[in-house]
Amino acid sequence: MRTPPLLNNTRRWLLASLATALCASSWADQRPQLELPRLTLSAGMHIIQAQLAATPEQRSTGLMFRTEMPANEGMLFVFEQASQQCFWMKNTLIPLTAAFVADDGTLVNLVDMKPQSLDSHCSTAPVRYVLEMNQGWFAKRGIKAGYKLKASVFR
């Protein structure tokens, strides 16, 4: 006995819907913890509200799966010791600029990063801090390597 074409299409639609729902449920489980500790930084007259990613788990998740970030917010990655830090954008959906920051708050180098790219972006010198902001945030304010950020974590 042959199944009518309309019934086949209905079954396909139901299976596709179920698969989509299962994937969405699985994806939602991978979303990062949204409530991380926060720190206020200043770049001259500009104030940044940064979420702190200080544990290995927080650093590995970073800004993955987020679809937006408010204009003056970012994420400050804090490492135990200064070394060359390298970042990629796997599962990161928004374009970001990574600012590699020395212990005293001086920007060592800045790198624009494309969403979902596996390209590695590294500091040009050993650093303990990396500040990720929306791409263009630093450029729009004329902030470049050599500029000094202020925050309680910087010595």
Global pTM exceeds 0.85: no
What integer pLDDT is reported at residue 35 of this predicted model?
80
What integer pLDDT is reported at residue 28 of this predicted model?
42
The tokens of 146 are what? 């050599």
Rounded CA separation 81/11 (Å):
56
Rounded CA separation 60/63 (Å):
9
- Of the candidates 36, 120, 135, which has an alpha carbon nearest to the alpha carbon of residue 78? 36
Task: Answer whether 129's CB lies under 8 Å from 104's CB.
Answer: no
Task: Answer whether 11's CB lies under 8 Å from 18's CB.
Answer: no
Burial class (CB within 10 angstroms; exposed 0-12, middle 13-18, buried 19+) of 60? exposed
pLDDT tens digit string along 80-128? 999 999 999 999 999 999 999 999 999 999 999 999 999 999 999 999 9
Beta-strand relationship, 107-113 and 96-101: antiparallel
Tokens 């400050």 belong to 76
- Of the candidates 131, 37, 128, 35, which has an alpha carbon nearest to the alpha carbon of residue 78? 128
pLDDT tens digit string along 51-72? 999 999 999 999 999 999 999 9
In the chain, % of residues over pLDDT 70: 78
CATH class, 38-140 region: mainly beta
